[in-house]
Every structure is written in C-alpha cells, then in structure tokens.
Amino acid sequence: MYDRRVVITGMGVVTPVGNDLKTFWRNLLAGVSGVGRITAFDVSTYDCKIAAEVKGYDPLPYYNNPKDLRRSDRFTSLMFGAAKMAMADSGADVQTLDPTRFGCMLGSGIGGLHTLEIQHSALVEKGPRRVSPFMIPMMISNMASGMVSMDLGLQGPNMCHVSACATANNAIGEAWRIIKFGDADAFLAGGSEAAVVSLGVSGFDAMKALSNRNDEPERASRPFDKDRDGFVLGEGAGVLVVEELEHARKRGARIYCELAGYGVSADAYHMTSPLPDGTGAVRAMAMALKHGRINPEEVDYINAHGTSTGIGDVCETKAIKSLFGQHAMPGGLVVSSTKSMTGHTLGAAGAIEMAAGVLAIRDGLVPPTINLDEPDPECDLDYVPHKARERRVRVVLNNSFGFGGHNATLVAREFVD
C-alpha cells in the first residue's frame, strides 16, 4: 500500500512560448524565445523593461461559470487553462471516477499580485469602502487549487504549496507521496504564476536579480553564459495528471512515463542565494534518485533550474558535478535550461519544465539552452547549446530551487511494465 507506482497520464501548459502542449514543445525544440518588451503596463520609467509574457491566451473557454473568471486573479485563470488541458490530455472523466480519491495540488509562489496592486490603489485613491469583497479570495495563493477543484468536482486532498521557485516541484512531489501512501489515486498537480506586474518587476529589479538587456530581449535569458546578467521574469502555468498505475490502467489511460522519485532539502543559508558549494541541491537530487531506486549513471538528461543568475548557475553546476562525477562531463548526461526560452516562471517553473522532461522521454529529443554563446568557465557541462539534440532519454531529473533555500527535485523514467 505504501509503495504504489505513480505515472504521468496528462499534461497542460500555458507559457510564453505556447498556450498548449504541442505549440510549447515545438517552440522549445526550435529554440524560440518568449521574451520581449513588457506590454502589461508602461515601463518607460523602469530599469527593466522586458519579461516573458503569455500572449494570446483566452481563459474564458476553460471556465464552466463565466462569473468565476471575473473573480479570478490572472494566476488562477492561467491555472484553469493548464488544468483543463491536462485533464483532457489524460482522458480522465471525473463522472466515471471516485471524486473523493482525485485531488488538487496546485501552488503559486506569489499568488494574486495583480489583485493586490489594484485593490491597494483603490484603497489609497478611493478609501476602504471601494476595496472589493473578492480581494482576499482572489489574492491568496491557494485559491487556484480551490477553484479548479470546485469547477471539476474533485473532492480528494486539496493543498497549495508556496515555496517560491520550488513550488510546482513540491506540488507534484507531494502528490506523488500521497498517492504512494494510498490516500488518493490521482491528482492535478503543478503551479501557476502571474507576477509580471509593476510591483513584481519593481521588487525583483530592486534586488538586482533581473536582466536589463532591454535592447536584446530575446537574448536576455542566457543560463550558464559568461555574459548573463540576471533572470528574465516570466509568467505561466503547468499542470500534470499524476496517477496510481493500476488506477490508470483500469481506465485505459495513455501513460507518458513513470514519476519515480522526489527529493527535498533546505540550504538554511541565505534569503536569496544558494549554498556556494551546492550541497543543498546535491541532497535533493540524491534523495530523488534514492526514492526512484535509480543510480546516478542512469540519468540521461537534467532539466536544470538554470535561471541565468551569476551565483545560481555556478552552484547548480557544482552540485551536478559533485553528485554525478564523471557521468556529468561531456559524453555522459546532458543538461539544458528551458528558462532560456520561457524566462523564469517562478512557482510554475517546475511543472512547465517537468512537461519538457516528459516530452524528452517520449520523443527522444532534448530541448536546447539558447543564447549560450560563451560558457562561463565555471559552467563546464554539456548544456545542449543553441539546438535541440536527438538522444534516447530513459531517465530525466528536474531541478527547482527557490528563495529561502527550498530545493526540490523530481525524477521520471521511461515506463516499463
């Protein structure tokens, strides 16, 4: 009962490089950048004028009740699209399943920042009576998970993880854990973020965390490159259907791969910087492999956290070399950062990047790290620069490391009966 196998049977994404799984994957493999000048608000007075925005997305078709859309922050409306696409992709019909065994584990690193911004302006300019009664439920990070479960009638475990950039990996991993323990059979699991608002951009830029390569936005996100100058803020959502193997078999589900392991750790070091030697990341990766009963040399591909920050990219490289040894060097496993194209979608990143890893298993193609023109001398792994690469991928590792020292790693492998 406590060691049930867990598989991935559905995926949905809303991203800066595509608002459906097919477009997303095609653009990743083609090395298309989703970064451009910010259109959501006037950036004429801002130092950072670029972001990876979701374009051309209409959330209305994903809502059963149009009123719910008016009561949703953007992070929730992005999640609705990803969740409904994941359900459709999985072929799961809630009407034929036990809804008390189907859960939602949908998180957000920041939550309804746009709502907070609008309602604070209303308070300052018009007084407290003009603050919306929907402000709190629209703003709080758990509401996307709550509203998706209401819309679909999912009555199983329902939680929201908030662990900065590790949020979605934690959500997927904790869903995996609950299914293995026997307390649910299936989950919608993932994350969403919509922080490309004036307050979000101002806050990250004040930390000197963002790239200011405003004249070349498509080249701004450049993980592992010596000329990187910070990450590019992105928005989006990613949701997976994770399911107990026999439950999936019983309903005739198509199985993408097996979700084999999950590892977590804390750096306990600094509010925003990782441990310089990468040992926190090492422990998360090692735990995921241990749970999956996978040896390090069996890993074919790592979708790196790879944010395009000076410290973070070096620390992750050190962590990979420490754990994988010679297998980490060219000729062994390969590493890439799809954030070079999507920007950093914060609490959504783990799910979006897990989808990329799953598709790499399915298609035998590894997405590239674009803009890697001259690697940092301390970043000396095979990061699949510029172009996608054909490679049989049996085992994928997905890293997400968040402010506050939160480390979360998932491992998936080719499904074998």
Catalytic residues: 165, 305, 344
Report, in angstroms and rounded to the nearest whole number, the Rg of the chain calculated over CA atoms: 20
Helix (H) or strand (E) holding 240: strand 236-244
The amino acid present at 218, given as its one-letter code, is: E
Measure the CA–CA gap between 361 and 125, rounded to whole angstroms.
Answer: 53
CB atoms within 10 A of CB 317: 24
Whether the CB-CB separation of 205 and 296 falls below 8 Å is answered with: no
Segments of 79-156 assigned E as strands: 102-107
Tokens representing 50? Answer: 């670029």
The one-letter amino acid at 351: A
| SS3 state of residue 187 | strand
**What residues pair up with 188 in beta bridges, in sequence order?**
104, 241
Encode burial over 225-248: b for 16+ CB neighbours within 10 A, e otherwise: beebebbbbbbbbbbbbbbbbebb
How many CB atoms sit inside 10 A of residue 128's CB? 7
The amino acid at residue 184 is A
Bridge partners, residue 158, by sequence? 104
Q: What tokens does 322 get?
A: 């420490």
Query: What are the start-end ranges of the H helices in 10-58?
Result: 21-30
Q: Hey, what are 86's tokens?
A: 């994941």
Q: In whole angstroms, what is the distance from residue 373 CA to residue 181 CA?
A: 46
Q: Which residues contact 19 (CB under 8 A, 6 or more apart)?
A: 13, 54, 56, 57, 81
